[in-house]
Amino acid sequence: MTLNYYCIDAGSQYCPCHLAKTDNCLICSMLQGKDTCDCRWQGICVYQEYIWAGGKIEERKLLSVPVIEKNFVTDKLVTIKIFIPSASLVRDYNQPGAFAFLRPENSLEYYDVPLCVMDVDESKKIINFAVNIVGPKSKAIARSENKVLIRGPYWNGLFGLKHIKSSYNKHWLIIGRGIGQASIIPVVKNLLRGNNKITVLLDCGNIKVNLAEDELKKLGITPQEFDLNTTFHKMRLREIIEKDGVDFVYSGGSDVQHKFIQNVLNKLSFSIPLIISNNHQLCCGEGVCGSCETLIDGELIHFCKIQLRSEQVLGG
């Protein structure tokens, strides 16, 4: 079966990209080195764009930006606010699923850490990230005092983006657990603009704190505290989905959480789309390094750029 997917960068200012230049474009057969046009049409001709650009590509910029606030929520969790001087670049980060690579100033590229955008204040040009301190790269970022290097924006931080961007007057169930809560605020803000009803469940998980709670309350949403490890809350989750007229579910958390929710949805008699955070290993973000590549139905999928349905991602 041919997979139905699209490239998150196609049609953006970062298309064509390095994959087109090396005959590895994800959607254009001509830029895969073939002789005939047999593309995954996304409303633009990537080949034409590549020819018009004379083979040049627009690189995502690496910027040195000031850290304006750093807050250790716990000894293993820190939030970092940075200032970006470009208003247009800040807008590009203000999208559900947006992420960037951060590293300390004066450090080498292999200290890059992929971090989802937790929140954006466009009026002040401030972007907020949350860092779960687990290894050498996250420890180095947590120690950064004055400036960090940021490369981005990238947008494939979740699967099912089209549902979020096109939703209007629907009921969404948002489930955030652990550091996965960092992904839900941009999702909620986007859904509120579509006049959607939103129910939020927060499980602190391993980080021992509900990271998104305060910001949700500022948005007028009172989240319900949940523990997805308990039988009571697992049953309560099924009740909410089944009886409260939920149209869509977003899961921000681990793949174990995604699969549990997928199984709950599969057992219901009606179909509810599941949108999930992207937990694949991301290294370059450009589809070049191969760290996020996975073979699905005979096709090599670059999870840093490809939008798939959650059941295709999870294998259900």
* Same structural domain, 166 and 256: yes
Give the domain range for residue 291. 1-59+281-315
* Same structural domain, 94 and 148: yes
* Same structural domain, 207 and 233: yes
For residue 91, what is the DSSP state?
H
* Same structural domain, 165 and 237: yes
Contacts 24+ apart (CB under 8 A), 244-247: 244/171, 244/173, 244/199, 245/171, 246/171, 246/172, 246/173, 246/199, 246/272, 247/167, 247/170, 247/171, 247/172, 247/272
Instruction: In whole angstroms, give the CA distance from residue 86 to residue 82.
Output: 12
* Same structural domain, 271 and 167: yes
> Taking CA 166 as the corner, what is the angle to CA 119 and CA 228, rounded to the nearest 5 degrees?
60
* Same structural domain, 195 and 292: no
* Same structural domain, 254 and 290: no
Number of domains in the chain: 3
* Same structural domain, 70 and 146: yes
Helix (H, G, I), strand (E, B) or coil at 9: coil
221: CATH: 3.40.50.80
126: CATH: 2.40.30.10
Tell me which residue of 293, 275, 273 sits closest to 283, measured CA to CA: 293
Q: How far is CA 79 from CA 73, 98, 133, in A?
A: 7, 16, 11
Helix (H, G, I), strand (E, B) or coil at 171: strand
User: Which of 138, 154, 170 finishes a domain?
Assistant: 154
* Same structural domain, 274 and 285: no
Six-digit token pair at 230? 């308990």
User: Which of 121, 154, 187 finishes a domain?
Assistant: 154
Six-digit token pair at 164? 């979020």
Confidence tier at 243 by pLDDT (50, 70, 90): confident
* Same structural domain, 126 and 186: no
Find all residues with CB under 8 Å of 103, minimum gap 6, and list them.
Answer: 109, 111, 112, 113, 137, 140, 141, 148, 149
pLDDT at residue 183, as a whole number: 97
Q: Which amino acid is at 152?
A: G
* Same structural domain, 201 and 234: yes
pLDDT tens, 248-303? 999 999 999 999 999 999 988 778 999 999 999 999 999 999 999 999 888 889 99
For residue 261, what is the DSSP state?
H
With a pLDDT cut of 90, the percent of the chain lying above it is 86
Whether 1 shows a pLDDT value over 60: the answer reads no
pLDDT at residue 4, as a whole number: 82
Instruction: In whole angstroms, give the CA distance from residue 279 to residue 254.
Output: 7
> What would the mean pLDDT of 35-61 be, rounded to a whole number?
89
* Same structural domain, 181 and 254: yes
User: Which of 136, 154, 172 finishes a domain?
Assistant: 154
Whether 9 shows a pLDDT value over 90: the answer reads yes
The alpha carbon of residue 56 and the mean position of all alpha carbons in its chain are separated, in whole angstroms, by: 27
Q: Which residues of 168-179 are buried (b: 16+ CB within 10 A; e: fewer)?
A: eebebbbbbbbb
